[in-house]
Amino acid sequence: MICPIGPVDRLLLHQLARRITARCGLLCRVSSTKLDNPRYAYNETRRQYDSKTILHCLKQRSKEKGEWVLGVTSVDLYVPILKFVFGLAEVEGRCALISLHRLRPEFYDAPPQDALLLERMEKTALHELGHALGLTHCRDRRCVMYSSTHIEHTDQKGPEFCPSCGELFKWRVRKQKERGD
């Protein structure tokens, strides 16, 4: 389930849900309710939002609903050891989080492009879902599991898993289904 956090374009979320379903066979839908803007995670000094704090909130929602949750927000995210992150996942968990803030072309002084934003969203969401299923970063620069520390990395890689990561992803999904997760 995709859960909007704060103001997020619902049309983009529905397009993302369709792409995730088509790409990896996971039935994905957009929640009819959204979470409020995550003020509780705001760090005044950094002027960013602590992604781990938001992920913890998503974990609670996942437990309540008994399903996987992908949070999507427009706020700028960080983890303490990095200047920013595009997303974060609970490794081998049921939650992932992505931010549109630095995925938007406008952040890099380019004109708005919904198609490019959606492509970046898809890659980032699949990457974080891969982490949630226990996948690590891949060395193949074309694989969606390649680490993106700059937006150029996200743009250069494809929206697909390499053969190794793809097989591991499918295997982990099967194991989750067998366990009833």
Helix (H, G, I), strand (E, B) or coil at 82: coil
**Dihedral angle sign, alpha carbons of residues 54, 58, 60, 61:** positive
pLDDT of residue 180: 63
pLDDT of residue 61: 76
pLDDT of residue 77: 98
pLDDT of residue 91: 87
Residue 39 corresponds to which amino acid? R
pLDDT in tens, the chain (181 residues): 899 999 999 999 999 999 999 988 778 999 988 889 999 999 999 999 999 999 999 988 777 666 789 999 999 999 999 999 999 998 888 899 999 999 999 999 999 999 999 999 999 999 999 999 999 999 999 999 999 999 999 999 999 999 999 999 999 888 877 776 5
- Taking the C-alpha atoms of residue 97 and residue 72, their distance in angstroms, rounded to an integer, is 6
Which residue out of 44, 119, 128, 178 is catalytically annotated?
128
Which residue ranges form the domains of the chain, and what is each CATH number? Answer: 2-137 (3.40.390.10)
**φ/ψ (deg, to 5) at 136:** -105, 180
CA atoms within 13 A on the CB side of 141: 5
44 is catalytic: no
Other beta carbons within 10 angstroms of residue 112's beta carbon come to 9
pLDDT of residue 86: 97
pLDDT of residue 177: 73
